[in-house]
Amino acid sequence: MAAAAAGATPATARKALFTTTATLLSSSLIRRSCGRRSLSCSAAAAAAPRLAPQPPDLVRWVQREGGFVHPALRVTDHPEHGLGIAAAEADGDIPPGDVLIALPGRLPLRLRRPTGAADEVLVQLAQQVPEELWAMKLGLRLLQERAKPDSFWWPYIANLPETFTVPIFFPGDDIKNLQYAPLLHQVNKRCRFLLEFERAVQQKLDTVPLGDHPFYGQDVNSSSLGWAMSASSSRAFRLHGEIPMLLPLIDMCNHSFNPNARIVQEGNVNSSDMSVKVVAETKIVQNAAITLNYGCHPNDFFLLDYGFVITPNPYDQVELSYDGTLLDAASMAAGVSSPNFSAPAKWQEDILSQLNLHGEGAILKVSLGGPDIVDGRLLAALRVLLAADPEAVYKRDLKTLMSLDAEVPLGPTVEASALRTVLALCAIALQHFHTKIMEDEAILKGAPPVTTELAVQFRLQKKFMIVDVMQNISRRIKMLSPQKSTA
């Protein structure tokens, strides 16, 4: 969005919502993802300014509206992570179990039941959004409140970032710098959706009387829609009933896989006594940031929806498509000979069907990395396709065949061949990246722009993860050598 002028009033800052003075996505991205029309957007920045140049005090607003904020908490502004919540230095440690923040039911911002013609129009627009892009549904509600002259939520909205570092706002070169097809597909998909949805929104609003206009007569374009979707995806929580809500102040808590706090919803989302609380999970020492776990996800999820990359991320993965031709290439590279990858026997097809890797409706997406190291369905398929004895396979249940920790369920020879094939798949996955690890590290040392840094960090973490998988699998193969000799 365009920055509001210094000293702008809330009203003029709201008008800036729909004024597009930001840079366009590069022509490369436009050609690849957004069709003939460009998607204008805000330039991403590591520490984006707030929507209003001097936003209201959010803590005081929450307290004034019946919320609770622990007296030892303060809002901090980190140069890289932006606004966050931390324990004050002079107030001592916060013990486990203490309530840190509590919001009454009137403070969360969420989709609501229609109360008038404008809300009916908003609901009709939200119904055109696919469920996987639920953040756009909530984003429409956010835009409605941002455009409203006397919005109850203006103190919250004014504190939202003016820009976001999600990939839909990356320059075209940095889209390319991701070098990872599954994420590129998702970015392109969202860009196309924004442009198509922009047309649908404008066509709908052209038929609406001004008094029934959900955005109070203001124009809505792909830039403002992109901002709203990014704000919702990066800040919303889905609690009881899976209803996404924007939680003022709580959404300033940053992410950690080992958080010191947890979020609790009390009461039904539609009840008058509903509240949302953040409770200390561990002792919180002075100056410590308050952190929540956003979920155990790969970096694709965090970058696409939140605009950051976790380094390292124990849940990071690379996606592969289960394909006989790919497995043939991997087996050749690994020196493993099997005629069954492209043409499995009938009994092998039966087991692949049980793994949902064969037949109508099969799910062919598999992965390497994460806590399991190797996707269980992929590992089981390799073991089965490399086995020559159906009876030995049928003696094992699928759970055992899918477990990397199972003790060579089909014998050391089959196990070594399966693991060598996994190694080859890792090598093939690495070859899909156009740069080497040392080249990526050199780029990061040069203090590149924030979007370049994120793109390079994203692909670098994928490579580190693949190398870790290869090292893990190599150790397992070495451990098999004595067993193979005995056999």
Q: What is the pLDDT of residues 310-336, one digit of tens each?
A: 999 999 999 999 998 899 889 888 888
pLDDT (0 to 100) of residue 81: 66
Q: How many CA atoms lie within 13 A of 181 on its CB side?
A: 9
Cβ atoms < 10 Å from Cβ of 318 = 25
Residue with tokens 């109360």: 115
What tokens appear for 147 in the block? 């455009």
Residue pair 51/4 in contact by the 8 Å Cβ criterion: yes
* Residues 6 or more apart in contact with residue 294 via CB below 8 angstroms: 255, 302, 306
158-173 pLDDT, tens digit per residue, is: 999 999 999 999 999 9
What tokens appear for 331 in the block? 């087996």
Residue with tokens 């820009």: 163
Closest CA to 400 of 412, 409, 390, 388: 409
Residue pair 254/77 in contact by the 8 Å Cβ criterion: no
For residues 314 and 371, what is the distance between their CA atoms, to the nearest angstrom? 7
The order of strands in the sheet holding 275-280 is 68-69, 99-104, 275-280, 261-266
Handedness of CA 439, 469, 420, 180 (dihedral sign): negative
Cβ atoms < 10 Å from Cβ of 241 = 11
Handedness of CA 213, 215, 221, 226 (dihedral sign): negative
For residues 44 and 65, what is the distance between their CA atoms, to the nearest angstrom? 32
Dihedrals φ, ψ of 189, to 5°?
A: -65, -40
Q: What is the CA radius of gyration of the chain?
A: 26
For residues 54 and 56, what is the distance between their CA atoms, to the nearest angstrom? 7
Residue with tokens 């005629």: 339
Residue pair 341/290 in contact by the 8 Å Cβ criterion: no
Residue pair 326/425 in contact by the 8 Å Cβ criterion: yes
pTM of the full structure: 0.86
For residues 448 and 445, what is the distance between their CA atoms, to the nearest angstrom? 8
For residues 327 and 340, what is the distance between their CA atoms, to the nearest angstrom? 10
Question: Which amino acid, 228?
Answer: A
SS3 sequence of the chain: CCCCCCCCCHHHHHHHHHCCCCCECCHHHHHHHCCCCCCECCCCCCCCCECCCCCCCHHHHHHHCCCEECCCEEEEEECCCEEEEEECHHHCCECCCCEEEEEECCCCECCCCCCCHHHHHHHHHHCCCCHHHHHHHHHHHHHHHHHCCCCCCHHHHCCCECCCCCHHHCCHHHHHHCCCHHHHHHHHHHHHHHHHHHHHHHHHHCCCCHHHCCCCCCCCCHHHHHHHHHHHHHHEEECHHHCEEECCCHHHCEECCCCCEEEEEECCCCCCCCEEEEEECCCECCCCECEECCCCCCHHHHHHHHCCCCCCCCCCEEEEECCHHHHHHHHHHHCCCCCCCCCCCHHHHHHHHHCCCCCCCCCCEEEEECCCCECHHHHHHHHHHHCCCHHHHHCCCHHHHCCCCCCCCCCHHHHHHHHHHHHHHHHHHHHCCCCCHHHHHHHHHCCCCHHHHHHHHHHHHHHHHHHHHHHHHHHHHHHHHHHHHHC
Handedness of CA 444, 449, 454, 455 (dihedral sign): negative
Residue pair 161/49 in contact by the 8 Å Cβ criterion: yes
56-94 pLDDT, tens digit per residue, is: 999 999 999 999 999 999 998 876 667 899 998 776 789
Residue pair 106/88 in contact by the 8 Å Cβ criterion: no
Residue ranges in the chain modelled with pLDDT below 50? 1-43, 485-487
Residue pair 181/320 in contact by the 8 Å Cβ criterion: no
For residues 212 and 229, what is the distance between their CA atoms, to the nearest angstrom? 23
